[in-house]
Amino acid sequence: MAYYGDGGHFMSSPVEDIQYNPFSPEVLADPAAAHKELREKCPVHAFREHQPFFTSLSRHEDVLAALKNIDVFSSQWGQGPGRKPAIALFSDPPNHTKFRRLVNTSFTPRAAMVLEPMITALVEELVNSMSAQPGNRADLHDLLAMPLPVIVIARMLGVPEDMRDTFKEWSDSQLQGMNMVDPEREIAARRAMSEYLINEVNKRRDLIALGRDLPNDLISELTQAAMSHDDPLSDAEMLSMLVQILVGGNETTTSLITNLVWRLLQDRSRWNEVVNNPELIDVAIEESLRFDPPVLGLYRTTTCPVTMSGTEIPGDEKVMVLYASANRDPAAWEDPDTFRLDRDLNQLRRHLSFGFGLHVCPGAALSRTETRIALRKLIELFPTLELDGEPERIETFLLWGKRTLPVKW
């Protein structure tokens, strides 16, 4: 049960200057410990060893307030630590509203339900290939968690299956671009992906011009909607939306699946509990999202100076809004640092792992559906599943998930 007590927040302003560097190996290895220190000692933390400078918000109250206050915490300059000009969904209303409406029509909970039979068949195929591995051991990341969302989104977009690995490579390099270590790789991948996608959009435009039927997929839907709009979308805007759908849903859903299975297997009594009580699957998924958010935080940019928890943040400052830290704040959650399967499902859904407000994730229902179907199949087929060594973390500092998950049964 969650509560909104004082939770030990007795200071009104930061009292200590702490050494917090989100790119350091210690923070990358254990972001939750670093977030705890931030909340307790310096909830509004200015990080000056990055260009541009940025501030981090770590308390639940501040994170939620920032996500609600879109006038001051703008999305105009991108979701990462660098500055990117506003385009399509990376923007504020009224511009954002137009693009969000287009996305909302395709990503409804009903649309996720309609996809269930396809996702179930795909999960069966992937899990069967896992169970056929010699020696009863496999990498669950490579054989299930990674391909599942990539294939689902590729099918939704209407991208052929043999493009799957290329898509995954494009998508990963966009996310690694947020680390700003290999901008050339990001640029090259974006160029290749853009050429491919715009070519697909143009094929649909030609079919529309010829009065021919379009393939039944998301690229067709968006192309049609964009052309019939009073204010038609430019190529750059179409591309931005398609890329965000592609990149936003892949590694995040993979991380949800790896984080969930990893936590359940870390203490096998949890795995056994879910095996014996499959009705706990939804609670396990939400608790995994709360405890191990695939996206630790994203950025906003302040439009004017603003005071949070007693500290002034300058105007025009990049601000990292830490959903992960909000999810572990004792002011909002009881016993936040324990992974528990006895939490109330409705209370749990208050976690901020899909964001909040205008930019809240439109793919939440889809990723929950994929994960639910995958976990159900795993507990059915592998009740004796165990970890087979330590998994490795994905690299991007803003994300939290595994790039390997060795298991045996």
Please report whether residue 396 would count as binding ligand HEM according to CB under 6 A.
no
Q: Which residue in this structure is represented by tokens 């599943």?
A: 385
Please report whether residue 394 would count as binding ligand HEM according to CB under 6 A.
no
Contact in structure between 403 and 394 (CB atoms under 8 Å): yes
Put the strands of the sheet holding 386-387 in their side by side order: 137-139, 406-408, 386-387
Residue nearest to ligand HEM (CB): 363
* CB nearer ligand HEM, residue 87 or residue 298: 298
Contacting residue, 81, 248, 401, 406, with ligand HEM by CB under 6 A: 248
Only segment of 38-46, 260-268, 292-300, 376-384 that touches ligand HEM (CB under 6 A): 292-300
Please report whether residue 100 would count as binding ligand HEM according to CB under 6 A.
yes
Contacting residue, 44, 366, 394, 407, with ligand HEM by CB under 6 A: 366
How many chain residues are in contact with ligand HEM, going by CB under 6 A? 26
CB of residue 156 to ligand HEM, shortest distance in Å: 7
- Which of the 8 DSSP states describes residue 135? G
How far apart are the C-alpha atoms of 26 and 48, rounded to whole Å?
A: 18
Only segment of 16-24, 128-136, 206-214, 359-367 that touches ligand HEM (CB under 6 A): 359-367
- Which of the 8 DSSP states describes residue 406? E
- Collapse the DSSP code of 73 into the 3-class scheme (helix H, G, I; strand E, B; otherwise coil) and give the result: strand
Contacting residue, 112, 239, 256, 260, with ligand HEM by CB under 6 A: 256
Please report whether residue 153 would count as binding ligand HEM according to CB under 6 A.
yes
How far apart are the C-alpha atoms of 46 and 57, rounded to whole Å?
A: 9
Contacting residue, 74, 176, 327, 353, with ligand HEM by CB under 6 A: 353
Please report whether residue 295 would count as binding ligand HEM according to CB under 6 A.
yes
166-295-69 Cα angle (round to 5): 125
CB of residue 319 to ligand HEM, shortest distance in Å: 12
54-57 vs 406-408, strand pairing mode:
unpaired
Phi and psi at residue 57, in whole multiples of 5°? -105, 130
Please report whether residue 249 would count as binding ligand HEM according to CB under 6 A.
yes
Largest distance between two CA atoms of the chain? 67
Type and span of the H or E element at 299? strand 298-302
Residues in 60-79 at the binding interface with ligand HEM, rule: CB under 6 A: 75, 79
- Which of the 8 DSSP states describes residue 238? H
> Please, is 144 exposed, middle or buried when counting C-beta atoms within 10 Å of its C-beta (0-12, 13-18, 19+)?
buried
How far apart are the C-alpha atoms of 145 and 130, rounded to whole Å?
A: 11
Only segment of 54-62, 277-285, 333-341, 360-368 that touches ligand HEM (CB under 6 A): 360-368
Contacting residue, 291, 354, 382, 400, with ligand HEM by CB under 6 A: 354
Residues in 228-247 at the binding interface with ligand HEM, rule: CB under 6 A: 244-245
Give contact residues for ligand HEM (rule: CB under 6 A). Answer: 75, 79, 89, 100, 103, 153, 244-245, 248-249, 252-253, 256, 294-295, 298, 323, 353-355, 359, 361-363, 366-367
